[in-house]
């Protein structure tokens, strides 16, 4: 990643943020305080709220008014009519689950809103002749907004000052090439500065600005691609269609069976329909996502889209930049190496040997540094070393006549200087392999230094004016500026974590391939000893995908190539996360499956990323990946529990319809069974640690256990119920109790399979659920409340024996599925 105003090839001075194109031009003073107050009173203010989360009304509506709550709500209303109230307990469970969803999402909203406020960048405006930093919402019509490299254009306006100002409008137009802006040109919100500096006058603010029309795209809760959610939706859609004919058949059969007690028929019909709806699954998914957001928020990680947490679990490739990710932003100038006669172009001797004098070189560098009001780390290292040299703008010193900021298309920056000797020339600072012709003797020296992980810039002098078509055409190379980047302390450990988790890390940088490879190799990244210069990348899509797949380190990568590499990796079936902080990362971040931006990076990168590391800590990424794996792994685990219930409920309903027997349960029995074998355990299992990388095929894997598990549970329950009915056809309470016992034992066995591998708290959870059910059977007022009474010993023990057989069948199915999974089946 590159810092705003910095590309890894860098770089010379950038123009002062508020300076016009020539030093000494008259500055605009901006609006006065009275003019600002007048515009605020007239409502001409940029009052469009930046939403980081859904509103309270939207959260409540989304959690309450669902298709499944509607089904359960109708069933609850029916029970309120026919009674008794304890058969309506399932309605309270829905209320509780809905409340949990609302509360957790409100907690996530509070964290998201707070983190979004922390991460909000405040633009600079000129008012009353001074520069002020204000929030985006405080900008008024006709404000003079200052722009520098990496700044986002937050409202629409007209350029008033431009010093090599280049605007990237790719997010608006799709055109990747930056547009050079002159005074009078239009700028639109949503674009961002990639080179130069300047200012513009706000002409459209609030809901008139272009940014207001992008509200849907900017929404923090826009759903990214989510196999988990689409899979659950597919399952629920199928269940809904299955529910309708089954419910009709159940109603008809129960009315036929209970001819003299329509209330009992209705109660048992409700008891058959309610368990078919996996009402807790969607809510639990939302809760798990929301809790993941809160957990990551505490680690200074802003998740802007909830399903992005799922995407993290599926990531198998992480694309990193060197600068700001593997290395710290700070740099040190370790050597200024003048080029000797032998280090110049063959047959092109030095025009003026005096220029190679160290004092002249440091003076020129000092002047270039002083011309830069927004130095990036490379220029800051030059300023720290030589900022006090070269004199001032007065007589006998170096005078800056014009400045050309860095552009990723040029790979260099420069200033036009009036030299102390009276001459005038353009001094350029940039990438040696761009400024020097191929085969130049100095390039071997550059490669040697780059192999040591050092950054090398070329300082040269050209007689051509800075605004000529190609100022570097007659460049006279004078010296190499050698810089050293500081490696992040946590970089090596983080790369080792990714390797241990089978997540492949690839370094994609704008710096030279040799230099990037040296840094990556020093950190122990596999494959770093074979870096590739992106200028040699093939243009054919298939060849590019092959190269991207086998290569670990890329250098000299342009912004468009970063995007192409991400697309090439995705074409090979990879799930790609891209980290970035510079404006040259925006295109790749937008196309990646998961975009991760640094908090101190450009505002434009944060606008398109799903995740923002507010503390700029690369070491946070393992926690982010682990959280994603925990969420999706556990949702897949508990989804099996919910769908086993759906399958056995549908099977029991069909068997009852065809045999014309009373439905074996009342709604209160379904409530206690669902709570103890699914609802409560699922909540705890969904929050447990889980470090397994998510795989595709969510629906298929969940149904592989749910269908046979549900069929076994339903068949065992109906068998025990039918045998009990044969012994005493009139004692429906005893028959129901046997069926409830059998189903509980089979369902708790399913829970025991899903909860593996065992830990002490998982065993305690299973034991607690078993103990709670025993209390329901033993404690008189509880057994009366739930209408459970085991009569005699034969039927209960028959139920237990059937449950054990069913459990053994479940074990066989589980082992077969596990063996198939290990074999990749």
Within its chain, how far is the Cα of 744 from the centroid? Answer: 40
> Which residues are CB-neighbours of 795 under 8 A, at least 6 positions away?
720, 723, 724, 727, 734, 735, 738
**Lookup: tokens for 344:** 């110049």
CA-to-CA dists, residue 51 to 48, 82, 635, angstroms: 9, 46, 28
User: Which is nearest to 641 in space by CA: 284, 290, 238?
Assistant: 284
Candidates 564, 578, 584; CA nearest to 609 is: 578
Phi and psi, residue 313, nearest 5°: -70, -20
**Nearest CA to 232 among 279, 287, 275, 291?**
279
> In which residue are the tokens 């969904």 written?
686
Residue labelled with tokens 């479940």: 810
Residue with tokens 């209970």: 258
Return the closest-CA partner of residue 643 out of 699, 692, 695.
Answer: 699
Strands, sheet with 327-338, edge to edge from the N-terminal-most edge strand: 327-338, 476-487, 454-462, 424-430, 412-418, 399-407
Candidates 238, 236, 272; CA nearest to 90 is 272
Q: Are the beta carbons of 599 and 340 closer than 8 angstroms? A: no
Catalytic residue among 156, 316, 321, 795: 321
Say how far residue 472 (Cα) sits from the centre of its chain: 41
Edge-to-edge, what's the strand order for the sheet holding 594-598? 301-303, 611-613, 594-598, 576-580, 317-320, 504-508, 553-555, 532-533
Q: What distance, in Å, lies between the first and last C-alpha atoms of the chain?
A: 40
Please name which of 236, 303, 267, 281 lies closest in space to residue 85, comparing C-alpha atoms. Answer: 267
Q: Is the backbone peptide bond immediately before 757 cis, with ω within 30 degrees of 0?
A: yes
291 contact partners, CB below 8 Å, separation of at least 6: 104, 108, 687
Is 10 noted as a catalytic residue in this protein? Answer: no
Alpha helices by DSSP H, listed for 83-226, are 89-119, 170-173, 215-218
Q: Residue 419 and residue 427: Cα distance in Å, rounded? A: 10
DSSP 743-773: HHHHHHHHHHHHTPSP-HHHHHHHHHHHHHH
Closest CA to 685 of 631, 750, 747: 631
Reference 505, options 495, 490, 514; nearest CA is 495
Q: What is the token pair recorded at 449?
A: 């230094």
Please say whether the beta carbons of 580 and 588 come within 8 A: yes
Query: Residue 442, Cα to own-chain centre: how many angstroms?
Result: 43
- CA–CA gap between residue 814 and residue 114 (Å, rounded): 45
> How many helices, marked H, and strands, marked E, lie in the chain?
28, 21
Specify the DSSP class assigned to residue 601.
S
For residue 273, what is the enclosing H or E element? helix 262-273
Specify the residue for token string 């829905």. 94
The token pair at 133 is: 């930093």
Structure tokens at 727: 């012994």
Structure tokens at 119: 């991460």
Q: How far is CA 752 from CA 165, 640, 807, 810, in A?
A: 64, 12, 10, 11
C-alpha span between 148 and 584 (Å, rounded): 15
* 289-115-174 Cα angle (round to 5): 80
Task: Supply the residues annotated as catalytic.
Answer: 321
């Amino acid at each position: 990643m590159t810092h705003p105003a910095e590309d890894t090839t860098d770089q010379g001075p950038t123009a002062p943020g508020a300076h016009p194109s020539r030093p000494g031009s008259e500055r605009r003073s901006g609006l006065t305080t009275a003019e600002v107050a007048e515009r605020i009173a007239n409502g001409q203010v940029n009052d469009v709220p930046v939403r980081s989360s859904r509103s309270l009304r939207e959260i409540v509506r989304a959690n309450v008014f669902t298709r499944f709550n509607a089904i359960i709500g109708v069933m609850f209303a029916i029970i309120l009519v026919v009674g008794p109230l304890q058969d309506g307990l399932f309605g309270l469970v829905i209320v509780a689950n809905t409340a949990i969803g609302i509360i957790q999402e409100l907690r996530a909203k509070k964290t998201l809103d707070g983190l979004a406020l922390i991460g909000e960048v405040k633009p600079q405006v000129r008012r009353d002749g001074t520069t002020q930093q204000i929030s985006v919402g405080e900008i008024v019509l006709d404000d003079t907004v200052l722009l520098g490299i990496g700044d986002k254009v937050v409202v629409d306006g007209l350029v008033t000052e431009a010093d090599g100002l280049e605007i990237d409008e790719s997010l608006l137009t799709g055109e990747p090439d930056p547009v050079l802006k002159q005074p009078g040109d239009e700028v639109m919100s949503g674009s961002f500065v990639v080179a130069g500096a300047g200012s513009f006058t706000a002409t459209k603010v609030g809901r008139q600005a272009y940014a207001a029309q992008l509200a849907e795209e900017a929404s923090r809760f826009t759903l990214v691609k989510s196999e988990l959610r689409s899979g659950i939706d597919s399952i629920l859609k199928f269940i809904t269609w299955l529910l309708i004919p089954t419910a009709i058949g159940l109603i008809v059969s129960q009315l036929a069976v209970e001819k003299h007690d329509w209330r009992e028929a209705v109660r048992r019909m409700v008891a058959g329909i309610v368990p078919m709806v996996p009402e807790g699954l969607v809510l639990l998914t939302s809760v798990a996502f929301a809790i993941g957001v809160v957990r990551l928020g505490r680690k200074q990680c802003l998740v802007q889209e909830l399903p992005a947490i799922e995407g993290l679990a599926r990531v198998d490739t992480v694309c990193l930049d060197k600068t700001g990710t593997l290395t710290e932003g700070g740099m040190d100038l370790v050597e200024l190496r003048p080029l000797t006669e032998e280090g110049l172009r063959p047959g092109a001797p030095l025009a003026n040997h005096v220029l190679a004098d160290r004092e002249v070189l440091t003076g020129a560098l000092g002047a270039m540094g002083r011309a830069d009001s927004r130095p990036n780390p490379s220029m800051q290292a030059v300023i720290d070393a030589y900022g006090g040299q070269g004199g001032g703008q007065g007589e006998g010193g170096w005078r800056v006549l014009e400045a050309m900021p860095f552009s990723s298309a040029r790979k260099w920056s420069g200033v036009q200087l009036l030299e102390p000797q009276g001459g005038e020339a353009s001094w350029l600072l940039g990438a040696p392999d761009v400024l020097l012709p191929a085969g130049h003797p100095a390039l071997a020296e550059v490669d040697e230094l780059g192999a040591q992980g050092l950054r090398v810039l070329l300082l040269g002098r050209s007689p051509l004016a800075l605004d000529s078509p190609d100022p570097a055409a007659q460049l006279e190379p004078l010296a190499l500026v050698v810089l050293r980047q500081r490696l992040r302390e946590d970089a090596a450990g983080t790369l080792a974590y990714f390797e241990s988790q089978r997540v492949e890390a690839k370094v994609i940088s704008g710096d030279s391939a040799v230099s990037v490879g040296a840094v990556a190799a020093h950190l122990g990244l596999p494959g770093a000893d074979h870096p590739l210069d992106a200028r040699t990348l093939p243009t054919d899509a298939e060849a590019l995908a092959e190269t991207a797949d086998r290569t670990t380190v890329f250098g000299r990568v342009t912004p468009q190539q970063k995007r192409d590499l991400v697309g090439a990796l995705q074409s090979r079936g990879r799930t790609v996360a891209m980290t970035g902080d510079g404006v040259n990362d925006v295109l790749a971040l937008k196309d990646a499956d998961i975009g991760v931006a640094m908090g101190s990076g450009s505002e434009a990168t944060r606008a398109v990323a799903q995740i923002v590391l507010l503390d700029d800590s690369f070491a946070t990424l393992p926690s982010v990946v682990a959280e994603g794996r925990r969420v999706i792994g556990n949702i897949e685990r508990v989804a099996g529990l919910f769908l086993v219930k759906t399958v056995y409920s549908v099977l029991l309903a069909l068997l009852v319809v065809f045999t014309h027997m009373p439905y074996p349960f009342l709604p209160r029995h379904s409530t206690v069974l669902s709570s103890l074998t699914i609802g409560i355990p699922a909540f705890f299992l969904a929050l447990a640690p889980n470090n397994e990388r998510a795989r595709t095929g969510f629906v298929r894997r969940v149904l592989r256990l749910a269908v046979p598990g549900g069929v076994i549970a339903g068949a065992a329950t109906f068998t025990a119920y039918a045998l009990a009915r044969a012994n005493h056809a009139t004692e429906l309470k005893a028959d129901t109790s046997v069926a409830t016992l059998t189903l509980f034992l089979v369902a708790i066995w399913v829970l025991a399979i899903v909860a593996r591998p065992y830990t002490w708290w998982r065993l305690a959870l299973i034991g607690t659920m078993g103990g709670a059910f025993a209390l329901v059977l033993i404690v008189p007022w509880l057994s009366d409340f739930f209408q459970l009474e085991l009569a005699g010993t034969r039927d209960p023990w028959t139920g237990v024996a059937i449950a054990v057989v069913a459990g053994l069948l479940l074990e066989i199915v589980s082992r077969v599925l596990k063996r198939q999974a290990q074999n990749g089946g």
